[in-house]
Amino acid sequence: MSHDTIAPPAIILCGHGSRSPDAAKEFNELARKIQRKIPGQPLMAAFLEFGSPTIRDGLQTYYDQGIREIILQPITLYKATHTTHDIPKIISEFAKSHPDVRLHYGSLLGLSPSVIEAAAKAVISVMPEIGAEGCKLLLVGRGSKDRLITDQTINLCQKLHERLDLGDSQYCYSFDSTPRLSSVLTQAASSHYNHVIILPYLLFSGRLLSNIYDEIDVVARKYPAFSFHKAPPIGGQSPIIEAIIENIGTARP
């Protein structure tokens, strides 16, 4: 009696892409870490733009290898256009032209417990010896005209404040929404908290992170009596890896 082994589906980690070499390096390193956790499944990183391979090319590569079941896992924090429209469009078009393939789309990270834990770890990684009660946190969201996206930043700020027992916490945005980072940084420099922790609500490096750090540097030079602590983006934190693997396991057509 023969026992055929059903091959597990292949995985494409779908990123937006960036012109920043650091962002691409971090994304590919994340893919390697996930692959080490699930070595039995083929896995590749692919991008909507500014990176290679594209998601469409990744699908075709797997198809040409004879793979007929593929999970596309978005690596994103927000329910933005590329998550709700761009990637689903690629999936739909590929499925129409390749009717014998089964495609599954994973969930975005959102404001899951794992994301909150990863954000807390990023803050703690730059926490000064004075401790949380002596610090003010500035959480920097990406900004958007979509209220669901901006509200996600507000909710995370509240959860971090409660979880870490910070002296004070405030949300702000790098563009498209108010309050803006520049004004909130200036306000922080007139508060009674000499230590200000700034957490960019981002997964990876790139232009947005560079702009945020540049704004911090400008204010830090203007107010040398205050210490501004730059937290890293949260994509390299272990809870993010575990959350992505969980989403891969629950992906649906």
Structural domains present in the chain: 10-109+237-249 (3.40.50.1400), 126-230 (3.40.50.1400)
Instruction: Classify 50 as helix, strand or coil.
Output: coil
Q: What is the pLDDT of residue 83?
A: 86
Q: Are 87 and 72 in contact (CB under 8 A)?
A: yes
Q: Is residue 61 scored above 90 in pLDDT?
A: yes
Helices (H), the chain: 21-37, 55-64, 81, 87-97, 113-124, 147-164, 181-188, 207-222, 238-249
Q: Are 76 and 109 in contact (CB under 8 A)?
A: yes
Start-to-end Cα distance in the chain: 32
Q: What is the pLDDT of residue 252?
A: 76
Confidence class for position 3, pLDDT limits 50, 70, 90:
very low
pLDDT one-digit tens code per residue, 109-143 = 999 999 999 999 999 999 999 999 999 999 999 88
Higher-pLDDT residue of 32 and 49 is 32
Q: What is the pLDDT of residue 99?
A: 97
Confidence class for position 5, pLDDT limits 50, 70, 90:
low
Q: What is the pLDDT of residue 18?
A: 85
Which of 87, 231, 101, 104 lies closest to 164 in space, CA to CA?
Answer: 231
**Mean pLDDT computed over 67-87:** 91
Tokens of 148: 């669901």
pLDDT one-digit tens code per residue, 39-57 = 989 999 999 988 899 999 9
DSSP string, 210-243: HHHHHHHHHHHHH-TTSEEEEPPPSTTSHHHHHH
CA distance 14 to 194: 40
